[in-house]
């Protein structure tokens, strides 16, 4: 039952991703779509931590930025090929997340939020200050992504790569959730003490998802750097971290597809809201509040529950 | 899972509705695209820029447009975020099919947009200060404000004249201040200036007396130079006075607006900074070619918005004038023709100074475009 | 040498008192509802901005301040009534997102109602710096510290000596039990928002002559206030004050003796270290987990 639903979901997602470009009249639409899909992958990783692990992180943009700058510096300054640079950056971020994850994941709730926020801000400050390496607040240019003579050019090519990546990420996430690890995580979320009592090594599971989510962010950060061709420390700011969390929560915590929906909607929203001009911030904030007040479980889970209810009533 | 499909369709429809609204337009209007930081940390720069563009485009249309063609302004707010600026640049080019782009309030947003503008081949006039925008020269990219390097040179020139050779720098750690700081270090040697203390602050720091105390106690400092914009320099100035520091104090062109004097109050007395002729419009010599331009702009802006004119508004005004003149000369909106006409801009007298561009110089301002001004009795006074 | 250190401490005291005032607002709301209100910084901004705008329009400072406090409290109550109360039983993360949404909304509102310029207020007792042991301090900084002290004393009195204050404290320990004892939990929640809005507004007014204000001023203050409140131990008023001062002084000393570029980073590293050893902050209570 669970297996078929999973395959069905993946199939539907793949189908939407294949059909969506039919509605894209120009490269700008592809560009926005790529950004939405990139964010979706980061959010899938973050959702493992927030939705399933029950641990908040207000510093994930820091890992995203480290991935981006890692790739940028290794390829531009040290002339490394893009793929090893990306993997090396992700490895570095993974190790960093492991090292800081162990002590800080002992913290709970708002204290953990503070600690992750602090780490994100420290990363941001380092990127801003070490201008010899990073170009400082005004940013640095990055070369296009190329593997063995093949160069990723244009928004269309990036779209298909991002779409493939998203399907892969969703598949990985669904499998992880369905594995013993996932069950242990849900136990941690439900009651950490309870989980410990029945013999779950909660801290190592928490650290594991923290590392996985950081690596997701780093990999996407690397790709983002190559795609946009120009990065500034701004991509690692506190606001971006908050943005990722909002995407996850708005879409629906503990729902992989919910994270995808949340990421896509919040990436598109600012583009749509340009029509309200000066009222953009008000409308945006209002939508955020309204969604969380009326659909506290997030968009997708509430929607699914609503449909079920209606279906049930009809029968 | 049908729900997911529905969502996807709905999302596409919403975006399409929002975006197509701008796409269908009469073919013979001239479309000027602009992305500015109307919100975010640089909003007090982006806001006057946007207001200026809107006002002059509206006025132009009332007067019959450019050779009978109406001008349409398409504006997006990038919030000061470079990656958003890049996306909006793409939107302007791909989706709104603009003929030319004027915008980019900060160096970061301009640099990000360049990555989009250059391959697409659309003329782009940036309103930001960083020298990286036009050095090295990029085929499609121009800018109207003076560079941060010129500001540093102007300040160092003045210091040299006054015999000040050992100075302390204090700069903001955000884009404008950081880039200005780096350029200052680069050119200091040329003017025989030695930087003996070097401190930074964040734009929103409530107090910078700690940094200033360090400077105060550094041996041999003869003058202090602050690079930054917004409320930061006003706080630095107040703290400077609080500590009783009396060394000559220089600011950058980033504070060349009346608001700075208002915020810093009495503490701003005696501060020197390089600024465009616009801020001292009334004091320019009657023979100064800039005089009529800047007095007229100042009057029009202040009448329309009931607030003091700033040099940032002037950058937008200059950008628009240069663009329109180039389109007139080109006789069409053919992008390559307009680009090469912008490059040929020669002897244009703007709010920023005399602009003469060339294939090697996509800004066209010389050091003489900067005036050294000093704050005296709450107002700017021309000192050279 | 000593004068230098003293000056750094004064610098830290000025910033620290500002952060402490911001942190107190977090503490009050957390105390009665376990909600972290990320729109606290916006209360400070609204207090400062509305006062500055009214003074600029010719309203005398005391009247303007009073009106500004009322306006801010109204905003606080509205936020509680229309955004927090309907979602009272939602997840902590959900409520965090609501308050973040509220802060974006309020900033958007402020930029339309007012403008995007920076505004200032005249210092309450002039701008002649006080000389102490070779270092200088602005009278306005003393106002900020003084207001923080008055506020903490008043809060202590309110929570420990008044019936309603005690009821609020009781609610923070156990909401259900409090409700069973006949305490109006809804009312407590609303008063806590009104109180922290009042505090934010007062903070915004005394701080504006030093830091100026604009529609985005609340972002930094909110962030530093949150840091102060967490460092001190959530829900502990004294902790928020100590936390704020510690952050401010750490920043000033770091820019004096280490590097001004890394002063903010130094402050956060200190916070992280404290949390490693004291996971509930300096004065936080050890919470018990429900199983």
For every residue of B81-146, DSSP letters joined together read -HHHHHHHHHIIIIIS--SEEEE-SSHHHHHHHHHHHHHHT--EEE----GGGTSS--TTEEE-SP
Kindly list the domain boundaries of chain C, sorted by start residue: 29-124+139-215
Q: Which of A227, A207, A254 is nearest to A112 (CA)?
A: A207
Average model confidence (pLDDT) across chain B: 89
Residue B336 sits in the same domain as residue B373: no
Spatial separation of the C-alpha atoms in residues C207 and C225, rounded to whole Å: 13
Q: pLDDT tens digits, residue range B347-375? A: 899 998 899 999 999 999 988 888 999 99
Cβ pair C86:A293 closer than 8 A: yes
Residues of A in contact with C268 (CB under 8 A): 118-119, 121-122
Is any Cβ of chain B less than 8 angstroms from the Cβ of C7?
yes
Question: What does the radius of gyration of chain B's CA atoms come to, in whole angstroms?
Answer: 22
Which helix or strand (DSSP H or E) is residue C242 part of? helix C237-253
Residue C177 in this model has a pLDDT that exceeds 80: no
Q: Please measure the distance between the N-terminal and C-terminal CA atoms of chain A and give it in whole angstroms.
A: 21
Residue B136 sits in the same domain as residue B189: no
Residues of A in contact with B87 (CB under 8 A): 28, 31-32, 35, 271
| Burial call C48-78: b when 16+ CB within 10 Å, e when fewer | bbbbbbbbeeebeeeebbeebbebbbebbee
Residue B313 sits in the same domain as residue B231: no
Residue B2 in this model has a pLDDT that exceeds 70: no
Residues of A in contact with B174 (CB under 8 A): 128, 137
Kindly list the domain boundaries of chain A, sorted by start residue: 2-314
Q: pLDDT tens digits, residue range B282-303? A: 888 888 889 999 999 999 999 9
Cβ pair B91:A9 closer than 8 A: no
| Nearest neighbour of A137 by CB, restricted to B2, B5, B108 | B108
Residue A33 in this model has a pLDDT that exceeds 90: yes
Residue B288 lies in a domain: no
Q: Which of B240, B224, B211 is nearest to C127 (CA)?
A: B240
Neighbour count for residue A314 (Cβ, 10 Å): 6
Q: What confidence tier does B41 reach under pLDDT thresholds 50, 70, 90?
A: confident
DSSP state at residue C261: G
Q: pLDDT tens digits, residue range C55-100? A: 999 999 999 999 999 999 999 999 999 998 888 778 878 888 899 9
Cβ pair B178:A136 closer than 8 A: yes
Q: What is the pLDDT of residue A70?
A: 96
Residue A204 in this model has a pLDDT that exceeds 50: yes
Neighbour count for residue A208 (Cβ, 10 Å): 20
CB A144 within 8 A of CB A226: yes
Residue B9 in this model has a pLDDT that exceeds 70: no
Share of chain A above pLDDT 70, in %: 94
Closest chain B CA to residue C16? B206
More confident site: B303 or B14:
B303
Domain extent for B361: 2-146+297-365
Tokens of B266: 């009495």
Cβ pair A296:C83 closer than 8 A: no
Spatial separation of the C-alpha atoms in residues C269 and A118, rounded to whole Å: 8
Q: What is the pLDDT of residue C163?
A: 85
Question: What does the radius of gyration of chain C's CA atoms come to, in whole angstroms?
Answer: 19
CB B107 within 8 A of CB A230: no
Closest chain A CA to residue C86? A293
Residues of C in contact with B202 (CB under 8 A): 264
Q: Which of C228, C229, C226, C234 is nearest to C280 (CA)?
A: C234
Q: pLDDT tens digits, residue range A212-267? A: 999 999 999 999 999 999 999 999 999 899 999 999 999 988 899 999 999 999 99
More confident site: B279 or B57:
B57
Residue B290 lies in a domain: no
Q: Which of C272, C281, C286 to mutate to test the interface with A (most CBs of A within 10 A)?
A: C272
Residue B34 sits in the same domain as residue B127: yes
More confident site: A201 or B212:
B212
Residue B53 sits in the same domain as residue B66: yes
Q: pLDDT tens digits, residue range C250-283? A: 999 998 898 888 988 999 999 999 998 888 888 8
Cβ pair C214:B231 closer than 8 A: yes
Alpha helices by DSSP H, listed for chain B, are 2-23, 43-62, 82-90, 107-120, 148-161, 175-188, 209-217, 231-242, 258-264, 290-305, 311-330, 335-343
Q: What is the pLDDT of residue B25?
A: 44
Q: What is the pLDDT of residue A3?
A: 65
CA C148 → CA C17, C21, C141, C199, C244, distances in Å? 7, 6, 11, 9, 11
Query: Going by C-beta distance under 8 Å and a sequence separation of 6 or more, which residues neighbour residue A199?
Result: none
Q: Which of A5, A25, A28 to mutate to test the interface with B (most CBs of B within 10 A)?
A: A28
Residue B105 sits in the same domain as residue B242: no
Residue B6 in this model has a pLDDT that exceeds 60: no
* Phi, psi at B194, each rounded to 5°: -115, 125
Pairing of strands B141-143, B166-172: unpaired
Q: What confidence tier does B241 reach under pLDDT thresholds 50, 70, 90?
A: very high
Residue A37 in this model has a pLDDT that exceeds 90: yes
Q: What confidence tier does B21 reach under pLDDT thresholds 50, 70, 90?
A: very low
Tokens of C97: 């997102």
Place of tokens 């590293």: C269
Angle between helices C2-33 and B209-217 (to 10 degrees): 170
DSSP state at residue C110: H
Grouping H, G, I as helix, E, B as strand and the rest as coil, residue B14 is: helix
Query: How far apart are the CA of C186 and the nearest CA of chain A, in angstroms?
Result: 17
Residue A2 in this model has a pLDDT that exceeds 90: no
**Chain A / chain B CB contacts < 8 angstroms:** 130
Q: pLDDT tens digits, residue range B174-219? A: 888 988 999 999 999 999 999 999 999 988 888 899 999 999 989 8
CB A250 within 8 A of CB A298: yes
Residue B70 sits in the same domain as residue B135: yes
Residue B160 sits in the same domain as residue B91: no
Residue C172 in this model has a pLDDT that exceeds 80: no
Positive or negative, the Cα torsion across B344, B349, B350, B354?
Answer: positive
Q: Which of A112, A285, A290, A299 to mutate to test the interface with C (most CBs of C within 10 A)?
A: A285
ipTM of this model? Answer: 0.89
Count of structural domains within chain B? 2
Q: Assign residue B183 the CATH number of its domain.
A: 3.40.50.2300
Q: Which of B72, B91, B94, B85 is nearest to B114 (CA)?
A: B85
Tokens of C220: 């930094």
- Considering A183-192, A195-204, B173-182, the range whose residues carry the highest mean pLDDT is B173-182
DSSP state at residue C129: P
Q: pLDDT tens digits, residue range B152-181? A: 999 999 999 999 999 999 999 888 898 899
**Paired residues of B101 in beta bridges:** B33, B124
Average pLDDT rounded to a whole number, residues C165-181: 76
Q: Which of these ranges, A174-188, A248-262, C78-92, C145-159, has the smallest mean pLDDT?
A: A174-188
Spatial separation of the C-alpha atoms in residues A248 and A245, rounded to whole Å: 5
Q: What confidence tier does C39 reach under pLDDT thresholds 50, 70, 90?
A: very high
Q: Which of these ranges, A182-196, B246-260, C135-149, has the smallest mean pLDDT?
A: A182-196
Query: How far apart are the CA of A102 and the nearest CA of chain B, in angstroms?
Result: 31
Pairing of strands B30-36, C130-132: unpaired
Q: What is the pLDDT of residue B16?
A: 52
Average pLDDT rounded to a whole number, residues A154-176: 92
Average model confidence (pLDDT) across chain A: 89
Q: What confidence tier does B24 reach under pLDDT thresholds 50, 70, 90?
A: very low
**Paired residues of C130 in beta bridges:** C137
Q: What is the pLDDT of residue C183?
A: 72
Residue B138 sits in the same domain as residue B23: yes
């Amino acid at each position: 039952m669970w297996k078929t639903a999973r395959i069905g979901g993946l199939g539907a997602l793949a189908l939407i991703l294949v059909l969506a470009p039919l509605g894209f009249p120009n490269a700008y639409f592809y560009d926005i779509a790529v950004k939405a899909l990139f964010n979706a992958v980061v959010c899938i990783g973050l959702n493992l931590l927030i939705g399933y692990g029950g641990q908040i992180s207000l510093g994930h943009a820091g890992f995203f930025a480290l991935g981006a700058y890692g790739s940028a510096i290794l390829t531009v300054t040290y002339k490394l090929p893009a793929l090893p640079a990306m993997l090396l950056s992700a490895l570095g971020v993974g190790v960093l997340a492991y090292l800081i994850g162990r002590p800080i994941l002992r913290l709970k709730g708002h204290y953990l939020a503070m600690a992750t926020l602090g780490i994100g801000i420290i990363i941001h400050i380092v990127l801003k200050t070490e201008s010899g390496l990073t170009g400082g607040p005004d940013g640095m240019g990055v070369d296009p992504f190329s593997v063995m003579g093949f160069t990723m050019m244009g928004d269309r090519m990036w779209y298909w790569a991002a779409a493939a990546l998203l399907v892969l990420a969703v598949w990985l996430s669904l499998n992880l959730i369905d594995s013993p690890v996932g069950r242990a995580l849900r136990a941690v979320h439900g009651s950490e003490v309870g989980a410990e009592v029945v013999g779950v090594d909660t801290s190592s599971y928490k650290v594991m998802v923290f590392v996985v989510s950081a690596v997701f962010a780093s990999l996407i950060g690397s790709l983002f750097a190559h795609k946009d061709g120009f990065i500034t420390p701004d991509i690692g700011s506190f606001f971006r971290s908050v943005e990722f969390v909002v995407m996850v929560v708005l879409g629906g915590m503990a729902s992989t597809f919910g994270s995808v929906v949340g990421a896509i909607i919040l990436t598109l929203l600012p583009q749509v809201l340009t029509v309200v001009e000066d009222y953009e911030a008000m409308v945006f904030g209002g939508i955020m509040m309204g969604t969380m007040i009326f659909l506290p479980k997030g968009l997708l889970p509430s929607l699914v529950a609503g449909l079920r209810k209606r279906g049930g009533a009809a029968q | 899972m049908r729900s997911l499909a529905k969502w996807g369709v709905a999302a596409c429809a919403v975006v399409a509705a929002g975006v197509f609204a701008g796409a269908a337009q009469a073919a013979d209007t001239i479309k000027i695209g602009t992305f500015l930081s109307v919100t975010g940390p640089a909003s007090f720069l982006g806001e006057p820029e946007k207001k200026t563009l809107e006002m002059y485009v509206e006025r132009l249309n009332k007067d019959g447009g450019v050779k009978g063609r109406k001008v349409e302004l398409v504006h997006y707010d990038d919030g000061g975020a470079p990656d958003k600026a890049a996306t909006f640049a793409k939107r302007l080019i791909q989706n709104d099919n603009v003929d030319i782009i004027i915008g980019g309030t900060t160096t970061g947003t301009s640099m990000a947009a360049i990555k989009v503008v250059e391959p697409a081949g659309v003329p782009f006039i940036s309103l930001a200060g960083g020298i990286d925008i036009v050095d090295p020269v990029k085929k499609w990219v121009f800018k109207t404000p003076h560079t941060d390097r010129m500001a540093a040179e102007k300040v160092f020139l003045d210091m040299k004249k006054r015999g000040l050779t050992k100075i302390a720098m204090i700069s903001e750690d955000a884009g404008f201040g950081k880039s200005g700081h780096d350029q200052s270090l680069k050119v200091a040697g040329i003017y025989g200036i030695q930087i003996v203390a070097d401190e930074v602050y964040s734009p929103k720091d409530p107090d910078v007396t700690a940094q200033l105390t360090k400077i105060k106690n550094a041996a041999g400092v003869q003058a202090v130079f602050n690079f930054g914009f917004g409320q930061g320099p006003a706080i630095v100035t107040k703290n400077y006075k609080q500590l009783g520091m009396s060394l000559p104090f220089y600011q950058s062109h980033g504070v060349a607006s009346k608001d700075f004097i208002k915020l810093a109050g009495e503490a701003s007395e005696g501060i020197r900074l390089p600024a465009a002729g616009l801020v001292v419009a009334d004091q320019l010599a009657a023979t100064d070619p800039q005089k009529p331009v800047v007095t007229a702009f100042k009057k029009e802006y202040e009448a329309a918005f009931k607030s003091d004119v700033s040099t940032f508004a002037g950058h937008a005004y200059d950008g628009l004038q240069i663009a329109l003149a180039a389109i007139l000369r080109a006789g069409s909106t053919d992008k390559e023709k307009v680009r090469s006409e912008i490059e040929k801009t020669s002897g244009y007298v703007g709010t920023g100074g005399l602009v003469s561009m060339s294939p090697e110089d996509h800004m066209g301002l010389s050091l003489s475009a900067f005036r050294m001004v000093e704050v005296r009795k709450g107002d700017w006074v021309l000192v050279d | 040498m000593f004068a230098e250190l003293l000056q750094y401490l004064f610098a830290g005291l000025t910033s620290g008192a500002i952060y402490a005032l911001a942190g107190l607002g977090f503490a009050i709301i957390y105390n009665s509802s376990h909600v972290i209100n990320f729109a606290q910084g916006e209360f400070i901004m609204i207090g400062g901005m509305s006062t500055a705008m009214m003074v600029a329009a010719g309203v005398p400072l005391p009247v303007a301040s009073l009106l500004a406090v009322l306006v801010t409290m109204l905003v606080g109550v509205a936020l509680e009534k229309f955004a927090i109360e309907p979602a009272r039983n939602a997840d902590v993360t959900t409520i965090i997102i609501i308050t973040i949404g509220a802060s974006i909304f309020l900033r958007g509102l402020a930029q339309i109602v007012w403008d995007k310029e920076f505004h200032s207020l005249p210092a309450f007792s002039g701008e002649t710096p006080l000389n102490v042991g070779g270092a200088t301090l602005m009278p306005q900084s003393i106002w900020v510290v003084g207001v923080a002290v008055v506020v903490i004393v008043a809060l202590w009195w309110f929570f420990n000596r008044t019936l309603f204050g005690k009821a609020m404290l009781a609610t923070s320990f156990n909401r259900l039990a409090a409700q069973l004892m006949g305490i109006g939990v809804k009312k407590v929640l609303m008063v806590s928002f009104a109180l922290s809005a009042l505090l934010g507004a007062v903070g915004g007014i005394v701080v504006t002559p030093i830091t100026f204000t604009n529609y985005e001023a609340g972002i930094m203050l909110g962030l530093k206030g949150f840091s102060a409140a967490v460092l001190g131990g959530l829900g502990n008023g004294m902790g928020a004050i100590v936390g704020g001062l510690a952050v401010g002084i750490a920043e000033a000393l770091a820019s004096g003796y280490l590097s001004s570029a890394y002063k903010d980073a130094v402050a956060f590293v200190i916070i992280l270290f404290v949390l490693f050893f004291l996971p509930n902050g300096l004065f936080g209570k050890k919470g018990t987990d429900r199983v």
